[in-house]
Amino acid sequence: MIGPVRRIAAGVVGWAICAFARALTGARALWKGCAPVPEQRIYYGNHTSHGDFVLIYASLPPLLRHATRPVAGSDYWDTSALRRFVIHDVFDGVTLDRTRATPGEDPVAIMAAALDRGASLILFPEGTRNTTDESLLPFKSGLWHLASRRPDVPAVPVWIENLNRVMPKGAAIPVPLLCTLTFGVPVRIAAGEPKDAYLGRARDALAALCPPRE
Amino acid sequence: MTITLSPMAALFAGVFGVLVVASVAGFVLKWKVADGGQHPTIDNLIARVNAWWAMVVVLGVAFAFGKAGVVVLFAAVSFLALREFVSLVYTRPSDHAVLAATFFVVLPLQYALVAIGWYGLYSVMIPVYAFLLLPIFAAFGRDTRRFLERAAKVQYAVMLTVYGISYVPALTTLAIPGGDGLLLIAWLVIVVQSSDVLQYVWGKLLGRTKVAPELSPSKTVEGLIGGVASATALGAALWWVTPFTPWQAAAMALVVNAMGFLGGLVMSAIKRDRGVKDWGTLIEGHGGMLDRMDSIVFAAPVFFHLLRYWWA
């Protein structure tokens, strides 16, 4: 596809994916800890489903959405033309190789560069989908590295509730269930804050948004 | 010159008249009492009235398409209600196939059976076949944790949100001398919903004594008696759109209003157990679809079967 056609197609597909995600799940955004204002942020959420970043993206007001880029694994998304189209053209994603197979690639530098161009980011610090009964897996260190290098950008926790029930691992058909996204109080890194302290605070801030479990 | 309206047009004209009065009253209250500022009760009242306008327009469009229109409308209502119900109950990933089957097989099948008027199957499909097959399906998930509870909840969900609500469009499948299915739907909806509204109004005006504070903090004896009595009087006054005599219309209205009220208590008990105030946020001022439909769910099947025994 040539440039303009590809751009238009990406716009239509993006609109359709967001509309479908909202129609299926009701995607209700609860801005409890901060307001939906156009401020540069790192949105970080719990990761239970492939649809997570789509739902955060779709639940942002359009003005914020267009300045927000999901961080995704190139080892998954850069493996076919269709996936490349979806992640790069539709969502303008920032792709990183989670397998570290690309020598010399610095994932934190790639994310920091995206922040320097003014974008907000969506990322999932658990690194992989959580299929356990625990509400959150331990965080990988990427969020701390990024926050240390760009301490002015606050990290906003986003708890996604129910999406794992819509599309559990291995399911072929999504079940329409109401999902809520709770945006918590932004977490800011203190000067020289050690990794474990910061990641612990960030994880607690996200876990605090999780409704009580049965 | 006299203008003669069809009974359906007369009902809609009456409902529009009531909504105009309610909107004007909301506007006056907003400016006289609240000086145009924020006032939770008045703002909620205005939101409720506005939502009523939208709901009446949607109903009107469905009625304009006749029987097919109401089947499609209530199938959509069931879908939204089932989604609200299942979203709030505990299930496990192994229930996924069963849940998909309720949305994409049981629900469309039930409304297709209603559409073709196959009473012998739509009246037993969910209580017999879904009741037996869904847990079999769930057993294939090979996950025994809280199995009975999960199977029971899925069955209860489809009984309430699909089976119960499908009795509304099923009214069009009854062959009643002097009865028109769409008018019976309009009568049922007007009587049951006005009972809800009038209970709210009487409760706000005179409500002192709570009926069942453990179940619902807002329902009062005064609201209950005033609401059910006035909605029953309304049902009797609208006897001319039904196959009933005025006294029969009053008795039927009393039955559906009692079922609606008691159904509301059951649904409140479920919500309380789940720790929520409303089923959802779909309808501004009202909560979710199930908050609006809870009375209908309990009233429609009884109304249908009473009609079928004695009038069809």
Residues contacting residue A154 through CB under 8 Å, at least 6 positions apart: A39, A41, A42, A186, A187, A188
| Average pLDDT over chain A, rounded to an integer | 91
- If one compares A40 and B211, the residue with the highest pLDDT of the two is A40
Q: Which residues in chain A touch residue B140, judged by CB atoms under 8 angstroms apart? A: none
Q: Which of B84, B90, B100 sits opposite A175 (nearest CB)?
A: B100
Question: Does the structure show a pLDDT above 60 at A168?
Answer: yes
Residue-by-residue DSSP string for B202-268: HHHHH--SBS-TTT-TT-BHHHHHHHHHHHHHHHHHTGGGSSS-HHHHHHHHHHHHHHHHHHHHHHH
- The reply to whether B90 touches chain A by the CB within 8 Å rule is yes
Whether residue B93 and residue A175 make contact (CB cut-off 8 A), yes or no, is: no
Q: Which pLDDT tens digit goes with each residue over A117-127?
A: 999 999 999 98
Answer whether B101's CB lies under 8 Å from B130's CB. no
* Domains detected in chain A: 3-207 (3.40.1130.10)
Answer whether B169's CB lies under 8 Å from B114's CB. yes
**Best mutation target, B79, B85, B87, to test chain A (most A CBs within 10 A):** B87
Average pLDDT over residues A34-58: 93
Q: What one-character DSSP code corresponds to residue A125? A: T
Residues contacting residue B31 through CB under 8 Å, at least 6 positions apart: none
CA B195 to CA B253: how far, in whole Å?
A: 9
CA B45 to CA B54: how far, in whole Å?
A: 14
Average pLDDT over residues A133-153: 93
Q: Which pLDDT tens digit goes with each residue over B84-98?
A: 999 999 888 889 999
Whether residue B86 and residue A169 make contact (CB cut-off 8 A), yes or no, is: no
Helix B147-158 with B131-139: angle, nearest 10 deg: 140
Average pLDDT over residues A78-92: 93
Answer whether B283's CB lies under 8 Å from B84's CB. no
Q: Which of A26, A164, A173 sits opposite B104 (nearest CB)?
A: A173
- Dihedral (Cα; B105, B106, B109, B114), 10-degree rounding: -160
Q: Given this model, what pLDDT does residue B211 score?
A: 87
Instruction: Quickly list H helices, B89-211.
Output: 96-101, 107-115, 119-122, 131-139, 147-158, 165-170, 181-206
**Best mutation target, A175, A182, A214, to test chain B (most B CBs within 10 A):** A175
Amino acid at B258: A
Question: Does the structure show a pLDDT above 80 at A187?
Answer: yes
Residue that the structure tokens 């399906």 belong to? B137
**How many CB atoms lie under 10 A from the CB of residue A82?**
9
Whether residue B100 and residue A173 make contact (CB cut-off 8 A), yes or no, is: yes
Answer whether A60's CB lies under 8 Å from A38's CB. no
How many residues in total does chain B contain? 312
Answer whether B100's CB lies under 8 Å from A173's CB. yes
> Looking at this predicted complex, what is its ipTM?
0.85
Strand partners of residue B287: B283
CA distance B243 to chain A (A): 40
Phi, psi dihedral angles at B79 (to 5 degrees): -60, -50
Q: Which of B83, B90, B280 sits opposite A176 (nearest CB)?
A: B83
Question: Domain map of chain B by residue range?
Answer: 21-64, 72-173, 175-312
CA B57 to CA A170: how far, in whole Å?
A: 42
Q: Which of B90, B103, B282 sits opposite A176 (nearest CB)?
A: B103
CA distance A166 to chain B (A): 8
Q: Are strands A180-183 and A28-31 parallel, antiparallel or unpaired?
A: parallel
Q: Given this model, what pLDDT does residue B186 score?
A: 96
Q: Given this model, what pLDDT does residue A45 score?
A: 96
Question: Residue A62 is inside which H or E element, if any?
Answer: helix A62-65
Q: Which of B86, B90, B104 sits opposite A177 (nearest CB)?
A: B86
Tokens representing A51 are 């649809």
Tokens representing A79 are 């493996």
- The reply to whether B99 touches chain A by the CB within 8 Å rule is yes
**How many CB atoms lie under 10 A from the CB of residue A128?**
11
- The reply to whether B91 touches chain A by the CB within 8 Å rule is yes
Q: Which of A171, A173, A178 sits opposite B280 (nearest CB)?
A: A178
Name the residue of chain B whose CA is nearest to A133's CA: B92
Q: Which residues in chain A touch residue B284, judged by CB atoms under 8 angstroms apart? A: none
CA A201 to CA A206: how far, in whole Å?
A: 9
Low-confidence ranges of chain B (pLDDT < 50): none
